[in-house]
Amino acid sequence: MEKKLPEVAKHTALILILSTPFMSAVFADINKKENASVLPDTQKNLSITKSKVLAEKRQQLVTEAAEAVSGTQKAVEALEKNDPKTALSILQTVSGKLDIILAKAPSLALIPADIETDYFNFTGDSKAIKQELKKADDLLDSGKIQDARQILSGLASELSITVTNIPIGSFPVAIKEAVALIDAGKTEEAANTLNEVLGMLVKTTETIPLPILSAEALLNEASAMENKKDLSKEKSKEEIMKLTSEATNELQRAELLGYGTSSDYKTLYASIDDIKKTLHSDKSQTTWERVKQTLSELKNKLIHSKK
């Protein structure tokens, strides 16, 4: 006879599994595939929004910081090849790059030098998510925790952005120390110092729920639609209602996937419903501003950053 988990243990297991990041690359590959249950227009909006977010992050990168990191790596390689002259020349260039950074941003502690991204996307709609949760719930009831874990680990839709930063307080000092060691003929110690400084690089990861980004893009498009001159009020209302409906679907997906709780979404759903009442009226702008503000607050609350 199979043992059943008590209700408290079952729900604890659900929470632990759902909060576990990227459990398996296998599931990531499976869930990156498109799913017909999500509207093509929504997928298009999501793709555009992801590109925009990444472009904004890349704009924050400091060219000199990236060159300083790559230069430090090349200097280590030169020392390993017993070529201190080349290493010294490279490090002098690196020091120059760091001086430029200090002049540009003297108050910043961390200077972004590189960016890496990953995403994990379960593309099923709310119905598909509920079906997967039901399967997992039944498995937990039967005590099959690992089987449930495999299902739940795939229920995520998020973009992770990892930025590599130079700690500007310690990095330049360490580079100058390595230069002094090379001048003194202590190439092995210099290489160790450079490896240590590369180990000082600080990585920060920001995780953003994809359905929230998608809902934001859809609502922005809907807001702009109201003022399109080539559309009649009736036609624009039809298009706006379609976009807000898709946005609500995306928010429901986010809620079901465990990004926040139902109370986090309550005000936003109500604000979106108000659009129907105030569309093409003198209250419309105020409603849109409230929707965007509420969504922005939700997004900021749900974005997780870690070092």
* CATH number for 294: 1.20.120
* Same-domain check for residues 167 and 241: no
Last residue of a domain, one of 174, 208, 242: 208
* Same-domain check for residues 152 and 14: yes
In a domain, 51, yes or no: no
Model confidence at 23: pLDDT above 80:
no
**More reliable by pLDDT, 234 or 180:** 180
Average pLDDT over residues 29-45: 48
* Same-domain check for residues 128 and 234: no
Model confidence at 254: pLDDT above 80:
yes
* Same-domain check for residues 141 and 91: yes
In a domain, 67, yes or no: yes
Residue 285 to residue 220: CA distance in whole angstroms: 12
Tell me the average pLDDT of the chain.
84
* Same-domain check for residues 115 and 255: no
pLDDT in the model for residue 91: 96
- What stretch of H or E contains 75? helix 63-80
Total structural domains within the chain: 2
In a domain, 1, yes or no: no
Model confidence at 281: pLDDT above 60:
yes
Distance spanning both ends of the chain, measured CA to CA: 46
In a domain, 50, yes or no: no
Q: Which two tokens stand for residue 202?
A: 């600080």
Residue 79 to residue 63: CA distance in whole angstroms: 24
* Same-domain check for residues 20 and 150: yes
- What stretch of H or E contains 203? strand 202-209
pLDDT digits (tens, 9 = 90+) for 41-67: 666 666 777 777 777 777 778 899 999
Residue 233 to residue 119: CA distance in whole angstroms: 39
In a domain, 49, yes or no: no
Q: How many C-beta atoms lie closer than 10 Å to residue 58's C-beta?
A: 13
* Same-domain check for residues 162 and 229: no
* Same-domain check for residues 170 and 219: no
In a domain, 218, yes or no: yes
pLDDT digits (tens, 9 = 90+) for 72-103: 999 999 999 999 999 999 999 999 999 999 99
Model confidence at 33: pLDDT above 80:
no
* Same-domain check for residues 170 and 226: no
Q: Which two tokens stand for residue 230?
A: 């080539």
Least confident among 27-36, 42-51, 224-233, 277-286: 27-36
pLDDT digits (tens, 9 = 90+) for 106-160: 888 999 999 998 888 898 999 999 999 999 999 999 999 999 999 999 999 999 9
In a domain, 225, yes or no: yes
Last residue of a domain, one of 167, 188, 208: 208
- Reported confidence tier of residue 306, pLDDT bands at 50, 70, 90: low
Last residue of a domain, one of 208, 223, 245: 208
In a domain, 185, yes or no: yes
* Same-domain check for residues 92 and 189: yes
- What stretch of H or E contains 162? strand 157-167
pLDDT in the model for residue 42: 62
* Same-domain check for residues 98 and 191: yes
Model confidence at 275: pLDDT above 90:
yes
Domain that holds residue 245: 210-306
**More reliable by pLDDT, 231 or 239:** 239
* Same-domain check for residues 30 and 168: yes
The CA dihedral of 76, 79, 83, 86, to the nearest 10 degrees, is 30
pLDDT in the model for residue 249: 95
